[in-house]
Chains A and B, each alone.
Chain A
Amino acid sequence: MEGMNAFQMLEYAAWGISALLALWMLFDLTVTDRTYSEDLLTSSREGEIDDALVIDPPHQGGHK
């Protein structure tokens, strides 16, 4: 019975982590949508390669 509880705890932990991550994504999505204009968010276009965007995190310590 004790063992069964241990696995049930694992199951509850899985539900809990899933809920937290899902809420985090929804929260961030809402905040992002409110902070930036729709024109800016949807400004990506195919084929526009900006050399300034060519970033190499291992060698430049992350994008700046």
Chain B
Amino acid sequence: MSQTTTIHGEKISLLRVLGPGHVWALGVGIVLVGEYMGWNFAVGKGGMIAALIACWVAGLLYTCVAMIDSEVTSTVAAAGGQYAQAKHIVGPLMAFNVGLFLVFAYTMLEAANAITLGYLVQTVGTMAGFEGVHDKPFIVLTIVFLAWLNYRGVYATLTFNLVITAIAFVAILVLFTAVIGPWAIVELNHKDLITGLPYGWMGVIAALHFGLWYYLGIEGTTQAAEEVRSPARALPLGTMLGMITLLIAATMTWYICSGLMPWEYLGQAVTPLFDAARLTGSGPLMVLLFVGTIFSTLASANGCINDASRAWFSMGRDRYLPVVFGAVHPKYRTPYRSIVFLVPVALVFAYYAPLDQVITFSILSGLLGYTFMSINVMMFRRK
């Protein structure tokens, strides 16, 4: 161990090995699952057009979020992201609250992803003709395997995220390419399927919060601030590239799905992109989009473990929590105690709590965090 352990003097710190690609993978990896499932409930609330308005309004708001993060993090580059920003710019009470919001938002999102992955495997088992299939073993495996990966090092963790997120994004690109242009294998029928605003402008307002699904979590890139080689370059570049990727993926997803399914179905579908692939009748596309759905869910849970543990670690290091959580593994250079501590928390919620309650817990924590960000950037500019 002593040969590979990097200890300078009497100090150990997190390992600075990440590049902009990893930052992109962390941000987009957490979010892309929202393209595969969840965004389409906006369609159920207000129809196709309302979902597109929600997509772009939320896109504009999240572009602001990404720009705030890029601006502030260039100055406050520390693990903990918005927690560290709150500590330096607002004060200790705000920092403590923001830290807890972050940990709960990401840990609950991790639990929600694990529940979804378990459900998908269970569905495959049922479709394959097996009886009495359970989702629990796969929920537990998802959380424990990803925690183990995070424990072993940030470079491998986010390189893994980079690969599976890229595959999930390419799957959307391939599906889009397959349904447009002269070579299209199925005809999109926007003319008949887009039916205006079935619930009027009230439906647009009701749809807005589901527009968040396209981008929710992109702000997590700032958690990697202490592990990137060049924070001032990699964080803004990775975050903004991530935002551009999500805007493209969100618009393509809406275009594909709204041209293939009636809004009444799309508005309550569990896996809209996979359903779109099924409607093309192409076996390879179905496999690709199923793999994309699984990978996007895994990437999201993986990024959430990374982010929640960094926030918890930072709070421990600053003694907002017991200082034992501020420990760094001498060999793997990860906040190993924080990673292990949050495993049972995620497991309890993923194992016992219903999906909608877990998601609500996550979103509520996230929204409280966003409320802070708008105050934060104004105070940052004045200082």
Contact = CB atoms under 8 A, between A and B. Distances in A.
A52 to B, nearest CB: 6
Interface residues of B, number: 53
- Sorting the interface of chain A by its residue count into under 10, 10 to 19, 20 to 34 or 35 or more gives 35 or more
B4 A54 contact: no
B130 A6 contact: yes
A46 B78 contact: yes
Interface in A9-56: 10-12, 14-15, 17-18, 21-22, 24-26, 28-29, 32, 35-36, 38-50, 52-56
Contacts of B226: 46
B330 A36 contact: yes
A18 B151 contact: no
Contacts of B314: 46
B343 interface: yes
B137 to A, nearest CB: 4
B12 A17 contact: no
B99 to A, nearest CB: 13
Nearest to B137: A14
Contacts of B186: none
Contact of A46 (B79, B328, B343): B79
A14 B138 contact: yes
B233 interface: no
B144 A4 contact: no
A19 B103 CA distance: 25
A4 B159 CA distance: 36
Contacts of A3: 128-130
Nearest to A63: B6
Contacts of A48: 11, 13
A41 to B, nearest CB: 4
A38 B12 CA distance: 11
Contact of A18 (B10, B141, B330): B141
Interface stretch (B14-22, B202-210, B360-368): B14-22
B138 A44 contact: no
B184 interface: no
Interface of B: 1, 4, 6-8, 10-17, 78-80, 84, 125, 128-134, 137-138, 140-141, 144-145, 147-148, 151, 155, 226, 229, 314, 317-318, 323-324, 326-331, 336-337, 339-340, 343
Interface of A: 3-4, 6-7, 10-12, 14-15, 17-18, 21-22, 24-26, 28-29, 32, 35-36, 38-50, 52-57, 62-64
Given A14-B137, A40-B12, A48-B11, 9 more contacts: A14-B140, A15-B137, A18-B137, A29-B336, A32-B336, A42-B327, A48-B13, A55-B6, A55-B17
By Cβ-Cβ distance, the 3 closest A-B pairs, closest first, are A14-B137, A41-B327, A7-B130
20 contacts: A7-B125, A10-B137, A14-B140, A17-B141, A18-B141, A25-B340, A29-B337, A32-B329, A32-B336, A40-B7, A41-B328, A42-B324, A42-B326, A43-B10, A44-B14, A44-B327, A45-B317, A46-B79, A46-B314, A55-B229
